[in-house]
Structure formats: C-alpha cells, structure tokens
Structure 1
Amino acid sequence: MSVVVDVLERPIYTMSQVDRLLGLPHGTARRWIDGYSRRGREYRPIVRQSPTREDLVTWGEFVETRLLSEFRDAGVPIINMRPAIEALRAQTASRYPLAHSASLLTPMGKELVKRIQDEVHLNQELRLVVLRNGQYMLTPPAELYVNAMEFNDDGEAVRMLPDPDFPEVVLDPFRAFGEPAVRSVPTEVIAEQVRAGDPEELVAELYDLPLEHVRAAVLFEQRHSA
C-alpha cells in the first residue's frame, strides 16, 4: 500500500542545500528552521514549531524560508517574526501557513496577517501586509515571494522560480530532486555540457528542449554558481 505524502511535508533538501539554493550565508537556514544557541541562550526556530535537530528540510519549510530570505536585508533580526508566524499557525491550524496562497492572496488572509502583525507589534520592516488607502496590500518582500511561487488548486506552494530573470528555470520537489531545472533537466547538467564544448543546439536536441531554455539554464548557472 503506497502512502501519499503531502507536497509540503515532502523531505527534499539538506540545510546546506537550502543555504545554497536561496543564496544564504552558511548556517542561516539551520538557525531559521531549527533554532540555535548562543552564549548560553536558546533561540527557538522560526520555521519549525520546535527544534528537531533533523537535517532534512521539507518542501514547506523550504518555501517558508524563501519568504524569510526576502526580508534578510531589512536590518531587523528575522527572529522577531516568530511570534507572528506562531499566531498565524494557531489561527489557520496549518503547519505551513505562509506556504498557502490563502494567507497572502485572499482578502481574508491578508486581513488576518495584518491583524496578527499589529497584535504582536511586528517591526514595520518585517511586515507582510499593510493597509493602504483602505486596501490590504503586500509589502515588496512579500510580493516578491508570492510572484516566485506557483500554487495548486488547494492553495499549496508546489513550484518556485529561483530567479525572476529566468522564468524557464524552476524548483519542483517532484523533479530533478528539487534542483534548478528546465522541464526536468537540471540546469547544472546543461551548463556542464555546454562548458565541456557541446554546442547549445546539440544540447537542446539531446534533451528535446527549446534553444532558449538551454541558454536560460546556462545563464542561470553562470549567475548562481559564481
């Protein structure tokens, strides 16, 4: 009897892979996802409800970490976002509330997020939703996150664009082991063949890909492997 695993619960990456794929400094994913200790003080995780010391990261955890990464340069410790995420979990009864479109793409979801932000006095720099001219609007980091995600009919985040400049390249937990890929071909594989001297046209024919997909894969790897 096969067991169907919810896409958000699918273990897909290690902590170091999350750092690499999201362009985070080494160790950042582990601190955000599983918590850490410093100078005798324990800092609880932001993404997980409690520390597990598990190195494997689920797709839902990865997606929520992507959202946190959009706020990384805000100048305010990301740990300050934890009370808002905890309250949102409780209100929505969801383990991954920020990996569901209902939280950020529906009027009711935006209103709930705004109310929780106010209740926990979340720093302005870390807010996802603001009230402007009588309408609930996403802040720029939250909008970047939403635009990078593809949601299924159940509202779950199922695919991610790692770089908006290359819409052909996606991260999909069910393809290419979650690595950046065009269709199901890892961009690293394509770029390696081109670097080895294979013409882009030959690589496109080999993998039955449009030539522009091959070129996008090569440019993507040049930018993100530097």
Structure 2
Amino acid sequence: MNVVVDLLERPTYTMTQVDRLLGLRPGTARRWIDGYTRGGRAYEPVIRERRTGEELATWGEFVETRLLAGYRDAGVPIINMRPAMARLRSETRSQYPLAHLANFVTPHGKELVQRVQDQVGLQTELLLVVLRSGQLVMADPVELFVNAVEFDNGTAVRMRPDPRFPDVKIDPLRAFGEPTVRSVPTEVIAEQVRAGDPKELISELYELSLEQVHAAVLFEKRHSA
C-alpha cells in the first residue's frame, strides 16, 4: 500500500479538534465533513461522499477542511461546493481530491478542475481555478492553501494551520497530530509560559528562537478550546 496515500485515510482528529486547530466555529467541521440536519431537512456532507456518523476525521478530511476554511474566511457558503467535490472525486478517482497538489498546479489538473466547475455551474466566488490574462491560475484561497501545505509526491503530508504563524506546523505522524514548532508541541510551550517559566529559558531548553516561542504561545491563545 502507498504509505503517503494511506496517510490520508488515517483517523487523526475529533470534529472538535478540527474546529479548534483551524479556528472554526464549534460544529463547523462536523457539518462540512459529515453533514447535518436542521429544521427536519437533511444536508449532505461537503467532504465525505455520504454521512457516516464517524466522529473521527481522517488526515485527508482535515486537509480538505483547511482549504474550505479559506473560502469560509471570504464569506462563501461552503455547502454550495458539494456538487464540485462529488464530481472531482469521480473524475480523479480519489476520496480526497483537494489533498492532491496535481489537481491544482499542473496544466492538466487546472483544466480538469475548470471542466468540473463548468459542469456543475459553480458560482464565481467558489471557483478553485480562474482565468486571468488568458491563463488558468489558482484562485486566491487555493493559492494560500497550497503555500501552507507540504506535499510528498503531490499529496499533502503536513501543513501550517494558521497563516499568521508560519513556524507552527501540523504533521499527523508527530505529536499525535497536534501543532508543533520544530517538533515541540505548542501546547507544551504555552503551558510552561503559563506556569511562569521565562521565555528565554524555554527558548534555550528547546533550542528555539524567542520569536518561535512567542508564536507558539500566541497560536495556543487564539486556538484554545
């Protein structure tokens, strides 16, 4: 089995963790990933092919939620992206089409995405690729996402969850998938600061810069449960 592809299937986070790590309102990850019911009406998932009731999100689901969060920040109704997600899964034969870099950066990938967008009639504000000066380029939320994610053979393997803190990274194979700065969990750093340890001491202990210690503390403050 391909280890990188298998990583996308790895159950990594609870829905609550996804909300916390990506700065989403409580309940958002569950709605996007597994759908919801409101006023007696059932709304199908955006990310999963169908509702499963599974409480854990895979790494692939977390990665795709990270991209959708960029559109959320722009005030876009994410539920409208569901038809495009379903078609992309079919066209790419991948459960996690948004977690594969080739779907966005290669000419073939951009053409595929544009065709899917046209087929489902995706609204302008939801487009994944756009036409600029006669060329297909990534839409702004996609470009920000690609710049925040590290890929191995075109598949997302780690990421920076918050663009404001580039030193903070998430790797599903390190620290139980929790945010770290150079492999040191941000929660550990923040807890030591709360306990009264000087930042200079923490910096020396973990061989981090003071800027990295400060970033870890600020990240935890803004993403605390």
TM over 0.5: yes
Shift, 1:75, TM fit? 4.2
- Deviations 1:143-176, CA, capped at 9 Å, x for gaps: 1111111101x21101111222322110110111
Match of 2:18 in 1: 18
Q: Match of 1:66, SS?
A: helix
Cα distance in 2, alignment partners of residues 172 and 83 from structure 1: 29
- Of 86-95 and 66-75, more deviation after overlay is shown by 66-75
Q: Match of 1:173, SS?
A: coil
Cα distance in 1, alignment partners of residues 223 and 41 from structure 2: 35
Cα distance in 2, alignment partners of residues 107 and 34 from structure 1: 32
| Aligned: 1:27 with 2:27 | yes
Match of 2:190 in 1: 191
Cα distance in 1, alignment partners of residues 80 and 221 from structure 2: 35
Shift, 1:213, TM fit? 2.4
**What is the RMSD computed on CA atoms of the aligned residues?**
2.0
- Of 202-211 and 191-200, more deviation after overlay is shown by 202-211
Percent of aligned pairs with the same amino acid: 70
Cα distance in 2, alignment partners of residues 65 and 72 from structure 1: 10
Q: Match of 1:6, SS?
A: helix
Match of 2:178 in 1: 179
Cα distance in 1, alignment partners of residues 29 and 214 from structure 2: 30
Letter of the 1:52 partner, please give it: T
| Aligned: 1:208 with 2:195 | no
| Aligned: 1:108 with 2:118 | no
Shift, 1:73, TM fit? 4.1
Shift, 1:142, TM fit? 1.2
CA contact under 8 A between 1:74 and 1:126: conserved in structure 2?
A: no
- Deviations 1:12-57, CA, capped at 9 Å, x for gaps: 1000111111111111111110011122222111111111100000
Q: Across the two proteins, how many residue pairs are aligned to each other?
A: 224
How do residues 46-195 of structure 1 correspond to structure 2 at under 5 angstroms? 46-152=46-152, 154-195=153-194
CA contact under 8 A between 2:66 and 2:161: conserved in structure 1?
A: no
Cα distance in 2, alignment partners of residues 9 and 181 from structure 1: 22
Identify unmatched segments of 5+ residues in structure 1: none
